[in-house]
Amino acid sequence: MAVLITSMSLAVGEAQSGPAVDGARLEECSSAADSRAREVAAGVAHGDENAFRNLYDSYQDRLFRLALVIGGGDQALAHETVQSVFLIAASRLRRVDSEMHLWNWLARVARQQLGKARRQRQKDSAVITMGELPEAALAEPDGELEEKLEAALLKMPADERQLVEWFYFDQLSHKEISGRLNATPKAISSRLERARAKLKSLLAAQM
């Protein structure tokens, strides 16, 4: 799972002018992102397929990570949620003011869809793959949830963390992973089940 790290360094002779320049660049980047978000949202609202494709490409992975954490690690549920969010966006997304406004709208829809799925599964007495996380997870800010997922992964042994990342984030099959690790798909399935249980426990402890 890629971690975005922003670093800003100052040259020795630019100690005084550097912060102002960096601040201007950050403001410019933020303004550009907000402008793109407004254009994409407006395009989706008018049925523009290219705008919808841009929306999907820009937010699919982030929504999947959010849904994976809130949904207790259930990959199928996370994929269903992401698809539901974009279906709703295609018909209901309207004007947004900024990139953050757009993301918050998508995240709110994801939470609503996950809440509905959770209630339906409880009603049907279904069991989520990694078990239910505390209900409070639905109220967690999405940024904090992503941070908790990252923190939980970092606490896992390197081999288990790699296994989870390959399966959930890179979406490799048991067979593909077994080829990389020179193991049988059955052995990979067992190892992944143990890794999922450990990740669930680490996430639940942070909620």
pLDDT, tens digit (0-9, with 9 covering 90-100), for 122-142: 654 433 344 444 444 444 455
How many residues in total does the chain contain? 207
CA distances from 62 to 18, 110, 171 (A): 32, 11, 14
Q: Are residues 39 and 106 in the same domain?
A: yes
Q: Are residues 106 and 191 in the same domain?
A: no
Q: Are residues 38 and 78 in the same domain?
A: yes
Q: Are residues 75 and 93 in the same domain?
A: yes
Asked if the structure places residue 202 within a domain, the reply is yes
User: Whole-angstrom distance between the N-terminal and C-terminal Cα of the chain?
Assistant: 21
Q: Are residues 112 and 53 in the same domain?
A: yes
Q: What was the pLDDT predicted at 22?
A: 57
pLDDT, tens digit (0-9, with 9 covering 90-100), for 67-126: 888 777 788 888 889 999 999 999 899 888 899 899 989 988 888 888 787 776 665 443
Please say which residue of 79, 99, 132 terminates a domain.
132
For residue 200, give the CATH number of its domain: 1.10.10.10
Q: What was the pLDDT predicted at 42?
A: 93
Longest dimension (CA), the chain: 66
Asked if the structure places residue 21 within a domain, the reply is no
Question: Chain-wide mean pLDDT for the chain?
Answer: 75
Asked if the structure places residue 8 within a domain, the reply is no
Count up the domains in the chain and report the number: 2
Q: What was the pLDDT predicted at 3?
A: 38
| Domain that includes residue 159, residue range | 141-207
